[in-house]
């Protein structure tokens, strides 16, 4: 279970402190899939980073009693000078896994071919996303954080991602942020709307989407 309790996040700017999240609270249990929608700058990615532990809240607490992934399709943790192959080996060693089996899966899933042995810094955005997603799947977590994971790639890649996440790992918790409302509707059973740092929770997608559209059209 993940418990987000009265979390605030403030960033300092030249114009003074800017509150990104205001008194956010929710509980995410195993098997639940919370979809968060909101306009650009609403704080969605900040929320994911906080839940992952990559950043700390300014105040409030986040309690994790299950293992949590890094944000899926986030390529910032790659060592750019290393090859895709070496990045897989590096992650496998950190999590004490057999990297030879992981390499086989990554080779098959990414279809990067010879480029898997090229430095990651030479990859296109799509190639990095394929590698990042595949590496995320070789490590089993209780909760997956999904930040616009289906933003790149063709239809076949989307289908393979959906099978890995939502069929093979249907029993896991997920926190999903996306600009694609249908993606959230199809894959989540709880919903939230972020607007100006405030979060509203909903049990029905239509109610959440209606609130989101009201926020989008508000002056």
Entry pTM: 0.86
What are the structural domain ranges in the chain? 1-67+143-153+169-219, 75-140
pLDDT along the chain (219 residues), means of 10: 96 90 95 92 89 94 94 66 90 87 91 92 85 87 82 73 89 90 91 93 94 82
- Distance, in Å, from the CA atom of 169 to the CA atom of 141, rounded to the nearest integer, reads 9
**How far, in Å, CA of 70 to CA of 211, rounded?**
29
φ, ψ for residue 113 (rounded to 5)?
Answer: 60, -130
Average pLDDT, the chain: 88
What is the homologous superfamily of the domain 1-67+143-153+169-219 according to CATH? P-loop containing nucleotide triphosphate hydrolases (3.40.50.300)
Q: Which residues fall within 8 angstroms of residue 198, CB to CB, at 6 or more apart?
A: 22, 23
- Token pair for residue 167? 């069929």
pLDDT digits (tens, 9 = 90+) for 47-64: 999 999 989 999 999 999
């Amino acid at each position: 279970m993940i418990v987000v309790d009265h979390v605030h996040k403030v960033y300092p700017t030249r114009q003074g402190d800017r509150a990104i999240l205001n008194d956010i609270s929710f509980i995410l249990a195993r098997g639940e899939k919370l979809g968060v929608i909101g306009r650009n700058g609403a704080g969605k990615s900040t929320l994911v980073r906080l839940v992952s532990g990559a950043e700390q809240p300014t105040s409030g607490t986040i309690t994790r009693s299950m293992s949590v992934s890094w944000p899926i399709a986030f390529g910032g943790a790659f060592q750019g000078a290393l090859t895709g192959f070496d990045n897989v080996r590096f992650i496998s060693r950190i999590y004490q896994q057999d990297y030879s089996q992981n390499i086989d899966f990554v080779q098959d899933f990414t279809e990067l071919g010879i480029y898997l042995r090229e430095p990651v810094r030479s990859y296109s955005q799509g190639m990095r996303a394929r590698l990042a997603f595949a590496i995320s799947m070789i490590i089993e977590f209780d909760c997956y954080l999904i930040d616009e994971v289906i933003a790149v790639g063709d239809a076949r890649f989307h289908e393979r991602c959906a099978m890995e996440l939502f069929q093979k790992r249907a029993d896991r918790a997920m926190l999903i942020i996306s600009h694609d409302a249908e993606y959230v509707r199809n894959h989540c059973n709880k919903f939230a709307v972020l607007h100006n740092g405030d979060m509203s929770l909903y049990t029905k997608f239509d109610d959440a989407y209606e609130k989101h559209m009201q926020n989008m059209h508000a002056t």
